[in-house]
Structures are given as structure tokens and as C-alpha cells.
Chains A and B, each alone.
Chain A
């Protein structure tokens, strides 16, 4: 029996330790490193050594106008993009779920596609769509006799961030549609039949049957969408606008990159990393708490 127990423990250890170790070395330790270095004036080339500066980086951060701008832009994206993405996904899933269309499966496959293609490719293609002279958006406006609305979408401070937000929604909506649709498909059809007999219309059925049944998956998709937006906004901000014009589309990850890789300010860059890490953890806990509270009611 003890030989068997020994064998069992060896098996458990060999199964768990390698992935745990890799995750610790390449994810957890860098995070700890960021935390430690955020209290120093470390730089990329190591000139002048590294000295402990306490909370100086954090103090500077909140007086740094560019950081505040990047933070504000990120918060805007984290509110607007998940909200629009999940709303679009929800409406489209409801159409595919209840529309009784033979070709529903085809649309699911098509709408999912943008989420699997390289985001770099997406960013480049959409840069052309928003292009001031060759772009589709401005050409459409000409065609619709709305030429006065034409502009350089990515080159204007008022529209650059919005254009990035639009591209993020376009890219991700199909992914969440698939998740929400799967949850909708598992709803018992009897509920709808009973509601129809009782004379409830489509909208009432959506609000009183579909929504409560898919509430959990909506919370999950919101969290996933927020973490996705935080992550992917870096690629779009880098390729489509380079954070510009005048930092109008700068996001936190892009500023971390600029400070760390372009300016070589490791210490400061790590302080922003720690801030963003804490911010994203608090955000995801908050949304999960919201879900628990709803469940308790």
C-alpha cells in the first residue's frame, strides 16, 4: 500500500511541478521583479547603477500628464469596448438563437473569423480603411454625399481612440457571440413554448427567459473582454496610431513600452506595470463580486 502511495505522490509531483515551475519562472517572477524594481531608478543600460528611490516613481506617476492621459484613455476603452462588444454579441446571438434561420451556423462561423486572424494584420488593414485619401470610410462618406464629415480618422485627436475602439469591437464580437450562443442553445425550449402560450412576446421572452439564463456567461465575457481590451489595445495603438496624435490614443501598455523600451526608464516603466497589474486584478475581482452579489439576491 505504501509503495502505491509513493507511486501516486511521485506521479502527482511530476505532473504538477513542470508547468507550475515554467509559469512561476516566466510569469510570476517577472511580476515580482517589476514590483521590486518599481522602487528603484533602474534603466536599460545600467549607467550609474541602480539605487533605491522609494515611492518616487509612484509619486511622479500621478503628476505625469502623459501617464494620466494614457490611464484615462485605457479606462475609456475598458468601459466602452466591452459594453458595445457584449451588446452586439448578445443581440446577434439572440437573432441566431431565436431567428429560426437555416443558415445560422454559417453566420456563426463567419463572425468568429476576425478573432482568429493575427491582430497585426487586422491593425494594418483597418489603418487603410480609416486612411484619409485611400480609405473606405471616407469614400463611403463621399458616396453618401456626406463629404463634410470626411477626416483623417486616425490622425485627428477626437477620432483616433474611437477608431481603435471600433476595430476592437469588430475583432472580438464574434468570439463572444460564440460563447453566448452556446449558453443560449442550452436553454430548455419548453420555457419559450410556455411563454408563447401565455402570450409573451419576443422581447419579454428575451428579458425574462434568455437574459437570466445567460447572465453568468455575460459576466465571464465582460471580464474576458476587459482583459482582452487591455492587452490588444497595445497592438492597435502601436500599429495604427503610434499612440498619437499628441497621445490622444496612447494606452497604458503602450506607455509602459515607450518608457521601458524607447526611453529605457525601467524603474518608472515597472511602476506603471505594477499599477496596471493591480488595476486589472481589482477590476476583475470587482466584476466577479458583482456577479456573486446578484446571485445572493
Chain B
């Protein structure tokens, strides 16, 4: 049994290396000069060569990309929280005509990737004069995130005991007050999980952002990084490229370490509730 466990441990360590190495290698490469990178791509950096980061900011629009991503992220999360919480509550607690239909409508959309409709979306947004509009992009992201968010949160709310609301109703509390003062605090960790998962999805989305935002000054991080990579293919300033990648990887790692408990819980709940 000890031998088996040792073999398992070695296997897991090897997989850990396969998982982590690409990121560590990118971060190391961001501290190397281009000559150093070409001569020995796999060695440790000989020093902290920070000039790459300066050039990354100069050559790309990464600061502007971050700003765009944050604008889109904040609008998207606002739309998600504002509308997902009441909708999930109503779908999990109230019985009304069309409830099943609305539920299955959202359920069906969970499995259809939004990037499929990028061309009709482009043509529609173009005729609505909403191209290169980051707020409009947030609405598309909100639409893309509602199905899964509502599914996850209404599942979470179903597990809250009904006695709290019954007590509130006897006291003459209106449905809105019940939602704001009783349900929302009780569902806090569920809402937080939804926000984290949605933030991650909106921040990383590529296809729709690529199609709807063509103005380089307004591009989000994933599109901006891809544009930089495309340019460096010919300019071959790998140092600046890796610095830009590192600028994206490091905040993601920090965000992940801070929120991993809720992210993982969200994935768990989403799967089991089916």
C-alpha cells in the first residue's frame, strides 16, 4: 500500500509540473533579454531584466486593455447581480404561469456557446450602431451569463429554509423587502460564487469581444494580448510579449488564490444540483 501511495504521489507531482510549468516558464522568460531567451530558453533568468515590462507598456495598449476589461467587467457584474438575484428568487419560490417555460428556456441556453452567434450578433449590433461600445458588450455578456447564473443561484436559494420568509410574510413584509433584507443576506455566499465565476468568464471571453470591438483603443485584455502576439510574430520582441503575458498571469493568480474556495464551490454546486 505504501508503494502504491508513493507511485500515486510521483504521478501527481509530474502532472503538477505539466500544469504549472507553462506559467512559470512564461514568467521566467519575461525577465530575460531577447538574446538570453533565444540562447537558452529554458534556463533561469540571469537577472531581473525589467526593461521588457517597460516595452510591453510602450508597444502594446495593455494599460488601455486593462481599463476596457475593467469597464466591461463592472458593467457586466452590475447587470448580473441586479437581475440574477430577483429572477433566481422568483423562479425558485413562486409558482406562476410560464415558469416552466422560462426555466427550460434558460436551461437550454446553458449548453449553447454564445460565440456561435458572433456573426449575426455583429450584424445586429452594427445595425443598432452598437459596435465598439463597451456597455453594449456588457449586455451581451450579461445575456451570455444569465442562464448559468440563474440556474446556479436558484438551486442555491431552494436550499434556504422557507420559514424565514413565512415569518416575514406574517409580519406584513412585501416580497421586495423579503428579497432585499432576508433572502439576499442568506444567499450571500451563493451570490459571491456566481459573481466570481461570471467575473472570470467575462474577463476571459475572446470571440465576441473580437467581433464587437474593432477599435484597438477599446479592446479588452484577451483581444489585446492576441493582437500583441500577432505583431510580435514578426517583430520578435519576445521579452515584451512575455512581460505582457506575465502582467495578465500574476493578477489572475492573486485573484485565484483569494477566491479559489468560492470558485471551486461554485463548480461543485453547479454540477451536483442537476
Contacts and interface: CB of A to CB of B under 8 A. Distances in A.
Interface residues of A, number: 91
Interface residue SS majority, chain B:
helix
Contacts of B258: none
A125 B22 contact: yes
Interface in B1-38: 5, 8-9, 11-12, 15-16, 18-23, 25-26, 37-38
Interface string A201-230: 000000000000000110011011001101
B226 A15 contact: no
A260 B122 contact: yes
B264 interface: yes
Interface in A34-52: 34, 37, 42
Contacts of B226: 120, 123-124, 238-239
A12 B112 contact: no
Interface in B128-168: 139-140, 142-144, 146-147, 150
Contacts, number: 251
Interface in B52-91: 79, 82-84, 86-87, 89-91
B272 A30 contact: no
Given A116-B263, A119-B204, A14 B143 contact: no
Interface of B: 5, 8-9, 11-12, 15-16, 18-23, 25-26, 37-38, 41-42, 79, 82-84, 86-87, 89-91, 94, 96, 102, 105-106, 108-109, 111-124, 139-140, 142-144, 146-147, 150, 174-176, 200, 203-204, 206-207, 211, 221-223, 225-226, 229, 241, 245, 248-249, 252-253, 256, 260, 263-264, 267-268, 270-272, 274
Given A238-B226, A270-B119, 15 more contacts: A11-B176, A14-B86, A16-B102, A22-B79, A30-B121, A34-B119, A42-B123, A95-B12, A101-B9, A114-B19, A221-B271, A235-B207, A273-B117, A273-B120, A280-B111
Interface of A: 7-9, 11-12, 14-16, 18-20, 22-23, 25-27, 29-31, 33-34, 37, 42, 92, 95, 99-101, 107-114, 116-129, 134, 136, 139, 170, 174-175, 178-180, 182-183, 186, 216-217, 220-221, 223-224, 227-228, 230-231, 234-235, 238-239, 253, 256-257, 259-261, 266, 269-270, 273, 276-277, 280-281, 284
